[in-house]
């Protein structure tokens, strides 16, 4: 069992130890796991030509650490408590033993489908227990899973499948989300028209939506698992073998396949889960994220299960059948730790107290947030009305690339401050640098957030593009991992995350590259060029504002083109990337060298053009006035 810190003094002690001698610190934590062969060296690293290896020569399987290691104590303990979309449908509970059997069965199924160690398996599924089973089955046999969020379009799915060269695709006939059904198999079929690498598609029956099954390629899940043994020996993996790829957005158009490896990710997610949430045996923990994103990977699947936790998994959405759904689930299963995104909190807050009043919420001990900065109003509402002023809030800052939580309070231990992620976890060494890379020491400073020393859960590369990995994370500031976020360290040494300083935006907790959205808009036949920026949005955190230059308008006029651009973005990326505001402009503010001055567009989108700074380098200064005149938000001059 991973040790748990119990007091602020304990945190300070562990933190100092972790900085003074990181290798001894992490080795002690790693000793708690089951290694087929113990590692011979803890760490080798280089940030300039990035090469990071943890637990060198160690051999293990992460699923043995979830199952076999804990079977004496946990066999009959619940592992997954699954709440379906429709509250009238029966929920499902799986004990560790039951989950183990299902994982083995599916692992054997994958083997029979010719999946071998190192092969990539793409997963495009709704939030059902089979999704977790599929991921763990891959890990069991050493296949690399690549989960694609089920809100992505056919084109996005296809790009991700092709980049990873996945051999098998796991999907479902459809997915329930509130009162809607997403036709997943139909979308997958469209994706596969341009993804010839996929040899086999396994289709789970969930919504009973009519689907087309291609003979020789497609097989039903229930048919595939039929007759498979529920015992499957674990593949022995090297600590640095890949566990999964997860695509995330960057500042250029093409999504990045972030690669995490077995040993370090295991140690890091297990340690951070236990300490941040202060999980105790028997507690019920509920993370509302979708497994299609990193939060679901690390804190619905791996982190909790490595700790023998009882993890609630929810298929639906927070506002269906009504905005009290999360609280109903909390009461139904007596949830102790609840983890969600600020955007969900803001949208529930906006619906009013009628959906909270009457709920007990007495089981709650810890509340968490993740994915974007939480504003003070949302923090207080969450604290006062959900936590009834007795539950600490852990505002956890981290990223797909970091694998697990980096800066966060430990529940009940670290004194909190609204909208501050507070302090780094043991083993994490944040630094703030100015734009020239000079470290800003001491307190009350603000700048670019970097990390000075490796941690076990960090990404090792971008799939198929190590140079991009180097450039993106280690190319900006010498010998530092650059997060892409701005941060402030206040007078007490507390960290507050200020948001991205690059061209990445965070919309309802979904991370999107502005270039990615621009590419989708530019694919529209009537569009010449476009520029996308984020702007403050009351519920979503950031909204998407697109400035679009069109050659000519279609018959539908301005409205017609705005509508068809939205449809195009939906089709190319997915509905969650649909621009909130589309302003047709006569041109974009460009410098003489042809670079778009995004700072001006950001200001306009924020509704404040009173201080645009130096615009004399613009090719055409008049364009700024025209853009402000035509703005679709009120702009202060
Ligand atoms: O900008 C930061 C924001 O989300 C980004 C990472 O997005 P993604 O890789 O999708 O992972 C989200 C879930 C871990 C970060 O660069 N972010 C994440 N957590 C916080 C946050 N911003 C402020 N406060 C947070 N707690």
Tens of pLDDT along 38-59? 999 999 999 999 999 999 999 9
Write down the pLDDT at residue 554.
Answer: 65
Separation of CA 289 and ligand 1 centre (Å) = 13
pLDDT digits (tens, 9 = 90+) for 391-410: 999 999 999 999 999 999 99
Per-residue pLDDT at 570: 95
pLDDT digits (tens, 9 = 90+) for 602-613: 999 999 999 888
Ligand 1 atom nearest the C-alpha of 405 is 14
pLDDT at position 617 = 85
% of the chain at pLDDT higher than 70: 100
Which two three-digit tokens encode residue 586? 């006569």
Pocket lining: 419 vs ligand 1, CB cutoff 6 Å: no
In a domain, 502, yes or no: no
Q: What is the mean pLDDT of residues 181-188?
A: 98
Residue nearest to atom 26 of ligand 1 (CA): 397
Whether omega for the bond prior to residue 321 falls within 30 degrees of 0, making it cis, is: yes
Q: How many domains does the chain have?
A: 2
Among candidate residues 596, 440, 607, the one with its CA nearest the CA of residue 514: 596
Measured by CA distance, the residue closest to atom 25 of ligand 1 is: 397
Predicted local confidence at residue 637, as pLDDT: 87
pLDDT for position 555:
66
**What pLDDT shows up at residue 152?**
96
Same domain, 408 and 379: yes
Q: Is residue 414 assigned to a domain? A: yes
Ligand 1 proximity of 400 Cβ (cutoff 6 Å): yes
Q: 254 pLDDT exceeds 90?
A: no
pLDDT above 80 for 383: yes
- On whether residue 65 sits in a domain, the answer given is yes
Residue-wise pLDDT for 329-369, tens only, equals: 999 999 999 999 999 999 999 999 999 999 999 999 999 99
Q: Note whether residue 161 is domain-resident.
A: yes
Claim to verify: residue 32 and residue 169 sit in the same structural domain: yes
Cβ–ligand 1 distance for 256 under 6 Å, the answer no
Helix (H) or strand (E) holding 192: helix 184-192
Whether residue 450 is found in the same domain as residue 580: no
CB atoms within 10 A of CB 84: 17
Q: Is residue 553's pLDDT more than 80?
A: no
Q: Would residue 267 count as lying in a domain?
A: yes
pLDDT at 461 over 80: yes
Q: Are residues 192 and 146 in the same domain?
A: yes
Number of H helices, E strands in the chain: 20, 30
CATH number, domain containing residue 112: 3.40.50.12780
Instruction: Share the mean pLDDT of the chain.
Output: 96
Name which of 97, 106, 93, 111 is nearest 68 in CA terms: 97
**Average of per-residue pLDDT across 600-626:** 91
- Give burial (CB, 10 Å; 0-12/13-18/19+) of 151: middle
Residue 494 included in any domain: no
| 53 and 181 within one domain | yes
* Torsion (CA) 499, 505, 506, 510 in degrees, nearest 10: -150
Using the 3D structure, point to which of 441, 456, 487 is the last residue of a domain: 487
Locate the ligand 1 atom nearest the alpha carbon of residue 483 and give its number.
16
Which protein residue has the closest C-alpha to ligand 1 atom 11? 399
Percent of the chain whose predicted confidence (pLDDT) is above 90: 93
- Dihedrals phi, psi of 518, to nearest 5 degrees: -60, -45
519 Cα–ligand 1 center, Å: 23
Which domain does 554 fall in, by range? Answer: 508-629
CATH number, residue 574: 3.30.300.30
pLDDT in tens, 268-308: 999 999 999 999 999 999 999 999 999 999 999 999 999 99
Distance 339 CA to ligand 1 centre (A): 14
Q: Which of 454, 487, 520 is the last residue of a domain?
A: 487
pLDDT digits (tens, 9 = 90+) for 311-320: 999 999 999 9
Could you tell me if residue 210 is inside a domain? yes
Both 405 and 525 in a single domain?
no
């Amino acid at each position: 069992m991973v040790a748990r810190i119990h007091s602020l003094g304990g945190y300070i002690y562990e933190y100092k130890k972790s900085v003074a001698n990181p290798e001894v610190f992490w080795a002690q934590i790693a000793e708690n796991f089951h290694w087929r062969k113990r590692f011979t060296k803890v760490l080798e690293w280089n940030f300039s030509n990035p090469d990071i290896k943890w637990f060198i020569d160690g051999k293990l399987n992460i699923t043995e650490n979830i199952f076999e290691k804990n079977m004496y104590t946990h066999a009959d303990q619940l592992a997954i408590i699954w709440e379906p979309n429709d509250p009238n449908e029966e929920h499902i509970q799986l004990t560790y033993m039951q989950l183990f059997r299902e994982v083995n069965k599916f692992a054997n199924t994958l083997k029979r489908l010719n999946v071998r160690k190192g092969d990539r398996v793409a997963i495009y599924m709704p939030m059902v227990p089979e999704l977790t089973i599929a991921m763990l089955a891959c890990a069991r046999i050493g296949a690399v899973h690549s989960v694609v969020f089920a809100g992505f379009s056919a084109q996005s799915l296809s790009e991700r499948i092709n980049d990873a060269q996945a051999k098998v695709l796991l999907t479902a006939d459809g997915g329930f989300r509130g009162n809607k059904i997403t036709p997943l198999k139909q979308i997958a079929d469209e994706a596969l028209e341009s993804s010839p690498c996929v040899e086999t598609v396994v289709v789970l029956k969930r919504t009973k939506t009519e689907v087309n099954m291609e003979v020789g390629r497609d097989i039903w899940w229930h048919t595939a698992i039929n007759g498979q043994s529920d015992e499957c020996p674990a593949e022995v993996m090297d600590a640095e073998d890949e566990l999964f790829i997860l695509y995330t957005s960057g500042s250029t158009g093409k999504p990045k396949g972030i690669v995490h490896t077995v040993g370090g990710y295991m140690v890091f997610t297990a340690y951070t889960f236990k300490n941040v949430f202060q999980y105790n045996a028997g507690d019920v923990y509920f993370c509302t994220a979708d497994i299609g994103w990193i939060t679901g990977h690390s804190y619905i699947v791996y982190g909790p299960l490595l700790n023998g936790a009882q993890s609630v998994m929810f298929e639906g959405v927070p506002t269906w059948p009504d905005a009290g759904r999360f609280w109903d689930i909390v009461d139904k299963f007596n949830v102790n730790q609840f983890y969600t995104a600020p955007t969900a909190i803001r949208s529930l807050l906006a619906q009013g107290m009628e959906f909270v009043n009457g709920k007990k919420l007495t089981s709650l001990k810890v509340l968490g947030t993740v994915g974007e900065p939480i504003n003070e109003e949302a923090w207080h509402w969450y604290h006062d009305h959900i936590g009834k002023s007795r539950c600490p809030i852990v505002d956890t800052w981290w990223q797909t690339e970091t694998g697990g939580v980096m800066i966060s309070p430990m529940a009940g231990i670290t004194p909190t401050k609204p909208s501050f992620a507070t302090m780094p976890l043991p083993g994490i060494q944040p630094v703030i640098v100015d734009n020239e890379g000079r470290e800003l020491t001491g307190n009350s400073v603000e700048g670019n957030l970097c990390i000075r020393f490796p941690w076990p859960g960090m990404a090792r590369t971008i799939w198929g593009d190590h140079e991009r990995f180097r450039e993106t994370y280690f190319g900006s500031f010498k010998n530092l991992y650059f997060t892409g976020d701005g941060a402030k360290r206040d007078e007490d040494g507390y960290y507050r995350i200020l948001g991205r300083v690059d061209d990445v935006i965070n919309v309802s907790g979904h991370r999107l590259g502005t270039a990615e959205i621009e590419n989708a808009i530019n694919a529209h036949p009537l569009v010449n060029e476009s520029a996308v920026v984020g702007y403050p949005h009351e519920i979503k955190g950031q909204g998407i504002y697109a400035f679009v230059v069109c050659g000519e308008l279609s018959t539908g006029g301005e409205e017609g083109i705005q509508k068809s651009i939205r449809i195009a973005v939906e089709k190319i990326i997915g509905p969650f990337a649909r621009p909130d505001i589309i302003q047709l402009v006569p041109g974009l503010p460009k410098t003489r060298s042809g670079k778009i001055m995004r700072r001006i567009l950001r200001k306009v989108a924020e509704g404040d053009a009173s201080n645009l700074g130096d615009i004399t380098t613009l090719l055409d200064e008049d364009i700024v006035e025209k853009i402000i005149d035509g703005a679709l938000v009120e702009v202060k001059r």
